[in-house]
Structure 1
Amino acid sequence: MAVEYITSRNMISLIYETMRVMNVSVAHHSVRVGYILAKLLECRGTYEKYEIADFMILAMLHDIGAYKTDDVRKQLTYEAKRTLPHSIYGYLFLKYLSPFEERSKIVLYHHMDYTKTKDLDFRYRFELELLKIAEMMDIWYKAFGDKFEYSMINRYSGTKFDPEAVALFEEATKKDDFLERIKNNTFGEEVDEYEDYVLLSDEEKEKYLKMLMYCTGLRDESMVSETISVISVSRELVRKLNLSESDKNEVYYAALLHDIGMLAIPSQLLQAPRNLNEEEKNLIKTHVEIMEKMLEGKISPNIIKIAAAHHERFDGSGYPKGLKGSAMTNKDAILQISEYVVNAMDEKPYRRAYTKKEITDNLNNGIISGTYEAIVTDTFMKHYDDIIELAEDKADLALIMYQKLLRNYKQVYNSLA
């Protein structure tokens, strides 16, 4: 289980790092909003510390839909003028792909005026109203700078904001000048203290790690299906090789996370309908080292090593380190073969999919040249049809929730527009 490989605290650090890699300013905004929400919940005095921490993490993810639906460099556009698309996508993303299924509607309604949400039959309606205030305080401060006065919120009490939530905000700011600490960027230690109370179950850690993989779909939807296929092929290959449960889990998590560094690569490169030039290819190659830095100190070093070697080759011809066979194991070889096969089987805008014969010929040549580890590669080829058939079936099942998200987006949009 994931509990063996990552702590709750490190899981939250990895979530933040993933958001930061996608866009620094949005990540910082989300942390500030989470901090303000935490201070409001703390002031109310009816929440346990772990509950406050959970809501703060949800707030850190409240704008995740914007990475898919908007240009995140234009924050005021999607936060003030075009609020529905990212709210809907974020809601569906968290509902289907995160541990926040029950609370995901907070994100769906977080830009709706109080006049439209006051009668919602929703367990977390008040926390929703507090998130609205937390978000707008940060947006207004960014927009008005030194001219910002948080008392301006009173003008919108009863219309845009819940009067009870406004009153709580006023009480909280009188008790503690936390907005000044945001202004001076001196609130980081408090955020760390809140995060220390995050207690994730094994199931929640597993969902969060999968959620980070699904984040690659915010850049390029095809990356989700490719990663799920790599996971499925590597799992079947692990079974054929009779690896231990520990080795099986390490390969699984390495396959799950091996391409999250792609989140730092511009979408126009990932989706380019042509062959890339050398400069562009070299930029894409940096995704391995980016992934390694994202995971470093947060998850098991064994998993990082396997994930970081997925483009290495046993003859030293791979990247980024040019490792040779003596520096790698059969676990590294499993992910390398799985990634190559899935990539070769996929049709690209600039080339057709490879046939089974072309793939096996390339693998045979790789054994002869020393590019691929012989035992793992030979095992894959002996069981090619069996592995691919089982992997495709399991990949189809794993994609169901993601495809449900994509299907439901238009339906929810039309119901709210």
Structure 2
Amino acid sequence: MAIEYITSKNLFYLICDTLKLMDESLIKHGTRVSYIMSKMLECKGGYEKFEIADFMLLGVLHDIGAYKTDNVRKQLTYEAKNPMPHSIYGYLFLKYLSPLEEQSKMILYHHVDTDKLQDVDYQYKPETEILKVAEIMDIWHMAFVEKFDYHMIERYIGTKFDKRACELLYQAVEQYDIFNKLTDGSYYNEFEESVEYVLLSDEEKEKYLRMLMYTTGLKKESMVADTIETIYVCKEIGRKMQLSEMDSAEIYYAALVHDIGTLAIPEDIIDAPRKLEDAEKNLIHTHVELMHKAIEGKFSQNIVDIAVAHHERFDGSGYPKGLKGSGMNTKQAILQTAETVVSMINDKPYRKAYNKEDIMEELNNGIVSGKYDGVVADTFLRYYDEIVEKAFQKAQVTLTTHQRLLRNYEQVYKNFTK
């Protein structure tokens, strides 16, 4: 289904732009590692271009666990002193929440010394060794600047790094001049050329898009539940209104990504247990524009229009554009209503959850005042119990995958570091 709404290349860049919202430096690191890795794989040979592109996406994502477990602005600290927390979390994140289940162990092992992997039988062991070398090269290249010398790695061959992987590095330097291109920025042109070969199946696209939904949990766990619940409330309202499959799908994809802009908002504001100052409210409001920038030109325009209007209101009191009913449609109204309902149903740092009577009163008053679309809000109110029960049951089933990740993290960490 996703193939109708986003191309493989655009999805690749959407993943990059979403993670960039949390920290631009870490995604730039991932991009550079991805580039070095791709050139080493080309030197190794035996890969189709689309296979190299797949490994490039993994290269971009290799430090995704750090968004959860570490201060990403102190990369040298966590990479050097204790790299296993982000390696383990990243491994589990990709294992459970992405199409990269088989390749995910590359993330688990990417900070493990070569001499400790001698007895490990793993399909992607050669590529893991290439990833390890590519990452340390970027770290050293950025840290030592003009004093950088890739031959520094020779003292660690056979202990920390694999001999064959280091040989591929030397070939990549000679054949592609990778470090001069990294220095002057021209590497990115070749990076973009390789991304053209990304070829994802419909199933892979769907999994990556759902992975983006789970990235909000890297910032705040409850945001994952909010998004999933919003998706299912949208689905149930749409079912009651007998929407077409296409309309329902467009709302679904808009709901998947509607809150990714919050990844850029400081946690102390998101979690503030008090009424926000005007400046803080304005900062939170920017999450819509940030999300818009990330998805614009990647999804179909219908999906973009639905997502960016999720805080608009039919009386013009919403944001960011203050749109009124005449400038919006039913699909936008469904996401607005669902997002509003889920927000009220759940506890927030600054207030307790609303009860059913309060929610119904808010929506009824909003219908009368023109704040909410009358047809959509009335549909929800007429089927309140059924919609809420079905939506939240389905949401709980979907959340079990994410909860399994959280449960397994501590156990894997203990087993791997004992």
Aligned to 1:305: 305
Q: Distance in 2 between matches of 1:3 and 1:176?
A: 34
Aligned to 2:380: 380
Q: Distance in 2 between matches of 1:268 and 1:217?
A: 15
Q: Distance in 2 between matches of 1:386 and 1:174?
A: 65
Aligned to 1:154: 154
What amino acid is aligned across from residue 411 of structure 2 in structure 1? Q
Q: Distance in 2 between matches of 1:36 and 1:348?
A: 44
**Cα deviation code 1:339-398 (max 9, x no counterpart):** 111000111222111110110011111111001111111111000000000001100011
Q: Distance in 1 between matches of 2:165 and 2:118?
A: 12
Aligned to 1:169: 169
Aligned to 2:197: 197
Q: Is 2:29 aligned against 1:23?
A: no
Secondary structure of the structure 2 residue equivalent to 1:111: coil
Unmatched runs of 5 consecutive residues or more in structure 2: none
Q: Distance in 1 between matches of 2:279 and 2:285?
A: 10
Distance 1:176 1:350, change over 3 A: closer
Aligned to 2:415: 415
What amino acid is aligned across from residue 276 of structure 1 in structure 2? L
Aligned to 1:43: 43
Q: Is 2:345 aligned against 1:337?
A: no
Q: Distance in 2 between matches of 1:152 and 1:173?
A: 14
CA contact (8 A) 1:313 1:371 kept: yes
Q: Is 2:207 aligned against 1:207?
A: yes
Q: Distance in 1 between matches of 2:206 and 2:235?
A: 16
Q: Distance in 2 between matches of 1:335 and 1:176?
A: 48
Aligned to 1:84: 84
**Cα deviation code 1:119-142 (max 9, x no counterpart):** 211000010000000000000111
Q: Distance in 1 between matches of 2:152 and 2:304?
A: 48
Aligned to 1:266: 266
**Cα deviation code 1:296-348 (max 9, x no counterpart):** 00101111111111111101011110000000111111111101110001112
Secondary structure of the structure 1 residue equivalent to 2:72: coil
274-283 vs 291-300, greater mean Cα deviation: 274-283
Aligned to 2:106: 106
**Cα deviation code 1:197-243 (max 9, x no counterpart):** 11000011111111111111111111000000000101000000001
Aligned-residue offset at 1:164: 1.5
Aligned to 2:137: 137
Residue identity (%): 59
What amino acid is aligned across from residue 129 of structure 2 in structure 1? E
Secondary structure of the structure 2 residue equivalent to 1:73: helix
* Deviating 4+ runs (over 4 angstroms): none
CA contact (8 A) 1:216 1:263 kept: yes
Q: Distance in 2 between matches of 1:266 and 1:72?
A: 13
Aligned to 1:227: 227
Q: Distance in 2 between matches of 1:411 and 1:162?
A: 29
Q: Distance in 2 between matches of 1:413 and 1:296?
A: 39
Aligned-residue offset at 1:174: 2.3
Aligned to 1:282: 282
Secondary structure of the structure 1 residue equivalent to 2:174: helix
Aligned-residue offset at 1:281: 1.1
Q: Distance in 1 between matches of 2:163 and 2:256?
A: 45
Q: Distance in 1 between matches of 2:21 and 2:369?
A: 37
Aligned to 2:353: 353
CA contact (8 A) 1:30 1:61 kept: yes
TM-score, reference length from structure 1: 0.99
Secondary structure of the structure 2 residue equivalent to 1:351: coil
CA contact (8 A) 1:118 1:162 kept: no
What amino acid is aligned across from residue 273 of structure 1 in structure 2? P
Q: Distance in 1 between matches of 2:87 and 2:362?
A: 46
What amino acid is aligned across from residue 78 of structure 1 in structure 2? Y
Aligned-residue offset at 1:272: 2.0
Q: Distance in 1 between matches of 2:393 and 2:243?
A: 22
Secondary structure of the structure 2 residue equivalent to 1:153: helix
Aligned-residue offset at 1:39: 0.3
Q: Distance in 1 between matches of 2:176 and 2:291?
A: 39
Q: Distance in 1 between matches of 2:174 and 2:303?
A: 48
Q: Distance in 1 between matches of 2:63 and 2:88?
A: 10
**Cα deviation code 1:119-169 (max 9, x no counterpart):** 211000010000000000000111111111101111100000011111222
Aligned to 1:243: 243
**Cα deviation code 1:38-71 (max 9, x no counterpart):** 0000001111111111101100000000001111
Q: Distance in 2 between matches of 1:135 and 1:224?
A: 30
Aligned to 1:314: 314
What amino acid is aligned across from residue 273 of structure 2 in structure 1? P
Q: Distance in 2 between matches of 1:335 and 1:394?
A: 17
Secondary structure of the structure 1 residue equivalent to 2:140: helix
174-183 vs 333-342, greater mean Cα deviation: 174-183
Aligned residues: CA RMSD: 0.8
CA contact (8 A) 1:29 1:138 kept: yes
Secondary structure of the structure 2 residue equivalent to 1:74: helix
Q: Distance in 1 between matches of 2:295 and 2:164?
A: 42
Question: Across the two proteins, how many residue pairs are aligned to each other?
Answer: 417
Aligned to 1:122: 122
CA contact (8 A) 1:31 1:59 kept: yes
Aligned to 2:368: 368
2-11 vs 349-358, greater mean Cα deviation: 349-358
What amino acid is aligned across from residue 278 of structure 2 in structure 1? E
CA contact (8 A) 1:10 1:298 kept: yes
Q: Distance in 1 between matches of 2:235 and 2:393?
A: 13
CA contact (8 A) 1:20 1:27 kept: yes
**Cα deviation code 1:89-137 (max 9, x no counterpart):** 1000000111101100000110110011122110000100000000000
Q: Distance in 2 between matches of 1:125 and 1:99?
A: 18
Q: Distance in 2 between matches of 1:20 and 1:352?
A: 32
Aligned to 1:178: 178
